[in-house]
Amino acid sequence: MNYKIVFALLLFLGTFSIEAQNISNIARGQRGYSPPPRATEAGEPEKPDVNQMSIEKATLYKEILGIDVFQKEVLRTYLKDYYRARVDIDYDPELKFEDKQKLINAEQKKFEKALKEVFTEDQVEQILTEEQFGNRAKEKKKKEKKAKRKKKNKKG
């Protein structure tokens, strides 16, 4: 008989503790509040403007390489075509990673071939390095210059 009382007491205290945790009940200050629905689909990411990108990069390369206006415009059109192809490949949801890499490599080779028609080998190399690594080429040159300055300051 003692077991029945202890069991009933445990059962009663167990339900009381569940009520104290407020499981499945709305918090006191939240009654009547329903949160706004969450967006289930984020949608397609916005594609970058290839025309703007090509203008900015062509201006940058004009400064870096010291090319004339005609070469800058030729480079801008090559960049625009290259960026358009890259964006189309990057934002194609049906392509797998390996397929994207193959297509990107093909576009890079086509871009390099087009550049070699107008620019010198050194200029093509600088453009390709900048396209592949971004501002890393500039940062590397800056670091090299700083290192040279430090060496000169230590010697002098």
Which tens digit of pLDDT belongs to each residue from 34-67? 667 776 666 667 888 889 999 999 998 888 888 8
Report helix angle 50-65 to 69-90, nearest 10: 140
Q: How far from 62 is each of 17, 43, 116, 124, CA to CA, in Å?
A: 74, 37, 16, 13
Which tens digit of pLDDT belongs to each residue from 111-147? 999 999 989 999 899 888 888 887 655 565 666 777 7
Could you tell me which residues come within 8 angstroms of residue 102 by beta carbon, excluding any fewer than 6 positions away?
none
Q: Provide the whole-model pTM.
A: 0.58
Confirm if 123 and 67 have CB atoms less than 8 A apart: yes
